[in-house]
A and B are shown apart, each in its own frame.
Chain A
């Protein structure tokens, strides 16, 4: 693989890496025929992000040298980010960026051609080779919001930097409400309505309300509300703002993943964020009774004790991923399929096994509990359990024959 990014596009690429770095510790880089894909997933698999840079984004783009297979690689986010750390520097001094990946050197080479003829060459060691793909389909989400990134960016600006989650919903008069999410303290008794008790009332609650007219599309009923992580959302917005792109938010009921998309002729970005499953819809009620729907299995939106996992049907809320084994038979290749949708990024790589699943109906997919202690953010997946290609351990290799 070899690609060359020129001038201001280097900064766009850098910005994308910055926003991905807010999510995961590892970056999956995959050259595809329809562009270069950069993906990441967080350690608890409650957030997934993917950028696809079209061949036209590059001055030169070659997914694979003739006669060679498409290579993909996984590198440490930290080391890739350090190359693009200073956006000011990228803008001021970098004229050209060449990224190449080949089997022989077994490293990913990122070369920055800077002002004064200074050349920086980074040889990053990589691990091969997982195909990371979350299972999501924006088309299956009944609700859609679409607004310029600036509108949403300004709306999240007043929230305190330490705020973990934000609730997005449709309030009275079809105004879009963004509210700081008040997390109950672990183990505290939760009253049905937030009262003036120390455990539930935080010093400040911030709420922003945006009129319907600021949205390019607003297709959601009054009263619906979802809660998701602010950090990842901010990462996405800062990218979208710099690229001056509108953001579409596709979502469903609370507890189901929300899909944030950006599109442009040269690139597209997808962020899939888990949303909180509300124990108590009143606490985040946005002034309507619409939220009083039956709440599925999860019993609380704080899981302070690991033991609590045992009581919950966590498997239903994991991100859908799957594992295949590469031709070498030794490497671990967790790859994940995508239900048929407008954005199918899977290349012509080893995906035959997944083909069946593309037809799967929405449904839960089993998964393992996350390795870390985890808030209540799980992916509702849309794969049918019967079609789930994966046992209860989506990260570990399944002993399959592979595709050859």
Chain B
């Protein structure tokens, strides 16, 4: 039994949040998928932890780590909210190195006493324990994208493999990424309009990559490429991605990430469309 999980009930009582896991990478990997801003807000309920990062009031990323991912997960209040420097948190979580030697696992015990207290991290590897205290910050209100399933116009589920290359090759000289989803050809098209010219990437609707394709109405939306590019981090880790757009053109990207234990975690991206209404495709 790892050193860190041997704690008495009394010790636990002073904390409003206690979470332990044998393999810290199951937690840090998911956080890396949303690490495109310095600060993150953590919401904790008995179901698990949701970590939220936002940028430019236009894009929001949420990482969900369910309680089941942890070996021990105690929440004494209905919800525990704090804001934290995500860069520092990730640095602490990888304090024993981000690529551990095979066979060695870093165990984590994470405790939080409540408002005004630091987040305590106890990390243990091979009998060596590191204790980190990270100051927490005043939680800030996060955006509500109001993305309702009922307003969804189109939904695509793709094997991430099919999108990975497309995102890594995005022409970053293009200001926008245009997403066309249509019941007829070209079905699902990603377009960029860069300095060198335009590029279109078309996916047929019935191929092995495409697990689901639902669309009744052609929709063409543009999103700032600089806002979408950070989602590549989650895409690279994921095995499947769900792409949805709603009546307002808001985009939801849901990434399914399988951690080292084989458990599934989800990372969500929401992005608002670019204001300019695109002209019809020629």
A residues neighboring B (CB under 8 Å): 75-76, 78-79, 82, 85-86, 89, 93, 107-108, 116-125
- Per-residue CB proximity of B183-209 to A under 8 Å, as 1/0? 000000000001111111111100111
Give the chain A neighbours of B207 by CB distance below 8 A. Answer: 116-118
B residues neighboring A (CB under 8 Å): 162, 165, 169, 171, 194-204, 207-209
Beta-carbon contact of B165 and A93 below 8 Å: yes
Beta-carbon contact of A119 and B197 below 8 Å: no
Beta-carbon contact of B203 and A120 below 8 Å: no
- Smallest distance from the beta carbon of A330 to chain B beta carbons, Å? 22
Beta-carbon contact of B201 and A120 below 8 Å: yes
Beta-carbon contact of A79 and B197 below 8 Å: yes
- Smallest distance from the beta carbon of A123 to chain B beta carbons, Å? 5
Known A85-B169, A116-B207; contact A79-B202, beta-carbon cutoff 8 A:
no
B204 to A, closest residue via Cβ? A117
Known A116-B204, A118-B209; contact A125-B162, beta-carbon cutoff 8 A:
no
Beta-carbon contact of A118 and B162 below 8 Å: yes
- Smallest distance from the beta carbon of A393 to chain B beta carbons, Å? 28
Beta-carbon contact of B202 and A119 below 8 Å: yes
Beta-carbon contact of A76 and B202 below 8 Å: no
Classify the secondary structure of B's interface with A. Answer: mixed
- Smallest distance from the beta carbon of B279 to chain A beta carbons, Å? 16
- Smallest distance from the beta carbon of A358 to chain B beta carbons, Å? 36
- Smallest distance from the beta carbon of B162 to chain A beta carbons, Å? 7
Beta-carbon contact of A116 and B202 below 8 Å: no
The 4 A-B pairs with the shortest beta carbon distances in the complex, nearest first, are: A79-B196, A117-B204, A116-B207, A124-B197
* Beyond known contacts A82-B171, A93-B165: 15 more, CB 8 A cutoff: A78-B196, A89-B165, A116-B162, A117-B203, A117-B204, A118-B201, A118-B204, A119-B201, A119-B202, A120-B199, A121-B200, A121-B201, A122-B197, A123-B200, A124-B197
Beta-carbon contact of B162 and A122 below 8 Å: no
- Smallest distance from the beta carbon of A32 to chain B beta carbons, Å? 24
Give the chain B neighbours of A120 by CB distance below 8 A. Answer: 199-202
Give the chain A neighbours of B194 by CB distance below 8 A. Answer: 79
Known A89-B165, A118-B162; contact A76-B196, beta-carbon cutoff 8 A:
yes
Give the chain A neighbours of B198 by CB distance below 8 A. Answer: 122-123
B197 touches which one: A85, A93, A107 (CB < 8 A)?
A107
Beta-carbon contact of A116 and B209 below 8 Å: yes
Give the chain B neighbours of A85 by CB distance below 8 A. Answer: 169
Beta-carbon contact of A118 and B197 below 8 Å: no
> How far is A118 from B162 in the complex, measured between Cα atoms in Å?
9
> How far is A1 from B196 in the complex, measured between Cα atoms in Å?
20
> How far is A82 from B174 in the complex, measured between Cα atoms in Å?
14
Known A79-B196, A82-B169; contact A121-B162, beta-carbon cutoff 8 A:
no
- Smallest distance from the beta carbon of A40 to chain B beta carbons, Å? 16
Known A116-B204, A116-B207, A116-B208; contact A121-B165, beta-carbon cutoff 8 A:
no
Beta-carbon contact of B208 and A121 below 8 Å: no
- Smallest distance from the beta carbon of A11 to chain B beta carbons, Å? 16
- Smallest distance from the beta carbon of B214 to chain A beta carbons, Å? 19
> How far is A125 from B193 in the complex, measured between Cα atoms in Å?
11
